[in-house]
Amino acid sequence: MREPESAVIRLCQELNEATKLKKNGRSIKFTNNATNTNIPIDSWKFLEWDYGKESIKLPIQARGLFTVNDDTIAVRGYDKFFNVDEKPFTKEKEIIRSTTGPYDVTLKENGCIIFISGLKSGDIIVCSKHSTGDRDQLGRNHAKQGEIQLLEQLGKEKVSQLAKYLYEENLTVVAELCDDEFEEHVLPYPKDKSGLYVHGLNYNTILFNTVPIAQVNEFSEKWGFKSVQFLTFDDSRKLFTFLHQCSETGTYNGREVEGFVIRCHRDNQDFFFKYKFEQPYLLYRQFRECTKEYISGTPIHSVRIRKNKEITRKYLEFVEELFTKSPEFKTEFENGHGIIKVRQLFLENLHESNGMKLLELDTLLSKQMKDLNLDPVVKYVFVPVATIGCGKTTVFNTLSLLFPNWIHIQNDNIAKKAKLKITDLTLKALDNNPVVLFDRNNSASRERKQIFDTIDQKRHTFIDDEVEIRYIAVNFIGNDVSEKQLWDITFNRVKKRGDNHQSIKPDADEDLVKSIMKGFIQRFQPLDITKGPDSAFDHVINLKLTEQGSSSLENVKIIIDDMHKKFPDLIPNKPSEELINEKFNEALNYKPTFIKDMTNGSQKRAKDPTYYGISMNYAKIIESLTSHIKTHEQFIKLQQRNYVQDEFHVTLGHVASAKGEKKKQWKDLVSKLGPGSGEDKQQRSMLEFSADVKLLQFVINQDKLICIKVEIIKIYGKDGTILDIVPMNTHNHVTIGCFPPTKAFESNVALEELYREDSGLKSDGVYHCGNDTLEVINLKEEFILEYQKLFAAYQ
- If asked whether residues 514 and 564 sit together in one domain, one would say yes
Average pLDDT over residues 552-572: 92
Which range, 171-185, 354-368, 566-580, has the best average confidence (pLDDT)?
566-580
Residue bearing the bigger pLDDT, 550 or 38: 38
Alpha-carbon gap, residue 80 to 61, rounded angstroms: 6
Average pLDDT score, the chain: 83
Is the C-alpha dihedral spanning 642, 480, 17, 785 positive or negative? negative
Q: How many CB atoms lie within 10 A of CB 181?
A: 10
Of 227, 257, 276, the position where a domain reaches its end is: 276
Give strand ranges (E) for 214-288.
Answer: 226-227, 230-233, 251-252, 255-256, 259-266, 269-276
136-185 pLDDT tens trace: 444 467 888 888 889 988 988 999 999 999 999 999 999 988 876 666 66
20 is annotated as an active-site residue: no
Within a domain: residue 655? yes
Average pLDDT over residues 504-521: 64
CB-based contact 358:347 (threshold 8 Å): yes
Within a domain: residue 672? yes
- If asked whether residues 345 and 392 sit together in one domain, one would say no
Is the predicted pLDDT of residue 531 greater than 50, yes or no?
Answer: yes
Of 276, 308, 324, the position where a domain reaches its end is: 276
594 pLDDT band (50/70/90 cuts)?
A: very low
Residue bearing the bigger pLDDT, 466 or 18: 18
Average pLDDT over residues 109-129: 89
Within a domain: residue 210? yes
Is the predicted pLDDT of residue 323 greater than 80, yes or no?
Answer: yes
Of 557, 588, 619, the position where a domain reaches its end is: 588
Which range, 90-94, 250-254, 296-300, has the best average confidence (pLDDT)?
90-94
Looking up residue 126, the CATH number of its domain turns out to be 3.30.470.30
499 pLDDT band (50/70/90 cuts)?
A: very low
Within a domain: residue 499? yes
Average pLDDT over residues 417-427: 73
449-488 pLDDT tens trace: 889 888 888 887 778 777 889 999 999 987 777 778 788 8
Beta-carbon contacts of residue 569 (< 8 Å; ≥ 6 apart): 378
Strands 171-178 and 539-542: unpaired
- What global pTM score does this model have? 0.52
- If asked whether residues 617 and 638 sit together in one domain, one would say yes
Instruction: Dump the DSSP string for 226-247.
Output: EEPPEEEES-HHHHHHHHHHHH
Instruction: Dump the DSSP string for 638-705.
Output: HHHTT-B-SSEEEEEEEGGG-STTHHHHHHHHHHHH-------TT-EEEEEEEEEEEEEEEEEETTTE
Number of domains comprising the chain: 4
Residue-range definition of the domain harbouring residue 367: 281-371
Please, where are the H alpha helices in 524-588?
551-566, 577-588
Average pLDDT over residues 739-752: 87
Instruction: Dump the DSSP string for 80-117.
Output: P--BTTTSGGGSHHHHHHHEEEEEEEEE---SEEEEEE
Is the predicted pLDDT of residue 78 greater than 70, yes or no?
Answer: yes
- If asked whether residues 242 and 311 sit together in one domain, one would say no
Within a domain: residue 136? yes
Within a domain: residue 593? no
- If asked whether residues 543 and 418 sit together in one domain, one would say yes
- If asked whether residues 510 and 427 sit together in one domain, one would say yes
**Do you find a cis peptide bond into 188, omega within 30 degrees of 0?**
no
HSE-up (13 A, CA, CB side) for residue 190: 1
225-245 pLDDT tens trace: 999 989 999 999 999 999 998
Which residue type does 227 have?
S
Average pLDDT over residues 631-660: 84
- If asked whether residues 534 and 674 sit together in one domain, one would say no
- If asked whether residues 76 and 215 sit together in one domain, one would say yes
- If asked whether residues 350 and 414 sit together in one domain, one would say no
- If asked whether residues 134 and 258 sit together in one domain, one would say yes
Which range, 297-306, 401-410, 511-520, 541-550, has the best average confidence (pLDDT)?
401-410
User: What does the DSSP 8-state code read for residue 447?
Assistant: H
Which residue type does 364 have?
L
Within a domain: residue 594? no
Candidate list 108, 330, 620, 789, residue with the active-site label: 108
CB-based contact 738:705 (threshold 8 Å): yes
Residue bearing the bigger pLDDT, 324 or 508: 324
CB-based contact 470:371 (threshold 8 Å): no
Burial track 625-637 (b if 16+ CB lie within 10 A, e otherwise): bbbbbbbbbbbbb
Which pLDDT does position 185 carry in this prediction? 60
Is the predicted pLDDT of residue 706 greater than 90, yes or no?
Answer: yes
Looking up residue 642, the CATH number of its domain turns out to be 3.90.1740
Within a domain: residue 595? no
CB-based contact 620:626 (threshold 8 Å): no
Which pLDDT does position 189 carry in this prediction? 65
**Do you find a cis peptide bond into 609, omega within 30 degrees of 0?**
no
CA distances from 675 to 503, 653, 671 (A): 20, 13, 8
- If asked whether residues 748 and 653 sit together in one domain, one would say yes
- If asked whether residues 557 and 609 sit together in one domain, one would say no
Angle between helices 327-334 and 281-295 in degrees, nearest 10:
110
Give strand ranges (E) for 667-725.
Answer: 684-701, 705-716
Average pLDDT over residues 126-138: 73
